[in-house]
Chains A and B, each alone.
Chain A
Amino acid sequence: RKEVEQDPGPFNVPEGATVAFNCTYSNSASQSFFWYRQDCRKEPKLLMSVYSSGNEDGRFTAQLNRASQYISLLIRDSKLSDSATYLCVVTRGSTLGRLYFGRGTQLTVWP
């Protein structure tokens, strides 16, 4: 079983829609959690960290459920520019900071 599992999508939504992505991780020792965004043929870029209490950054809201080992990302009022692949990422304390990536969820926002 992969360390981090994501629904690959693709998700195709109209502008203005709300879309949610889910992610599960298999190792209960996972320590830090992130969502990255990757545009086509570009490097991954940090979108936001995910905290236990949940956190929001503008139209983006991230949630973490440690008991269920589940992470989510909610995008409200989708923009065309949100079209990208969203990567769920975790770290473990025992592995010197290496990042464990899900395969990503592809989002296309159409006009």
Chain B
Amino acid sequence: GAGVSQSPSNKVTEKGKDVELRCDPISGHTALYWYRQSLGQGLEFLIYFQGNSAPDKSGLPSDRFSAERTGGSVSTLTIQRTQQEDSAVYLCANPPPGWSGGMGTEQYFGPGTRLTVT
């Protein structure tokens, strides 16, 4: 498709389990961001990829969170030993094609994964 896609759309997991969230970015877009939106909170930055490397991981809330990107395309966000406070919507976003990290620009979001930790 033409837009960012994410899977699963919803995920319910038990506390302590690991989860993997997937982002399929817009084809050919080298930059990719992960954000999360907790209930009653604004969107918070998690991590930024340029190609397969992550020059900014400063938003990851703890070492239980990690992310990788392969082939400059699909990205996976992994949360280990999930906690109830991890419940949120996790969103992936791309800037316009060809943007390479200069002046900030708009981003286009996927539909998100709604994670519920019980």
Contacts and interface: CB of A to CB of B under 8 A. Distances in A.
B42 A96 contact: no
Interface string B84-111: 0000000101010001011111111111
Interface in B22-53: 31, 33, 35, 40-45, 48, 50
A87 interface: yes
B35 A31 contact: no
Q: How large is the interface on A (under 10, 10 to 19, 20 to 34, 35 or more residues)?
A: 20 to 34
Interface string A84-104: 000100111101111111111
A101 B42 contact: yes
Nearest to A100: B45
Nearest to B45: A98
B112 A93 contact: no
A46 interface: yes
Closest 5 CB pairs of A and B: A91-B104, A43-B109, A32-B104, A103-B42, A101-B43
15 contacts: A31-B104, A32-B103, A32-B105, A34-B106, A44-B109, A91-B104, A91-B105, A95-B56, A96-B48, A96-B101, A98-B33, A99-B35, A99-B45, A99-B104, A99-B107
Interface of A: 2, 4, 31-32, 34, 41-46, 49, 87, 90-93, 95-104
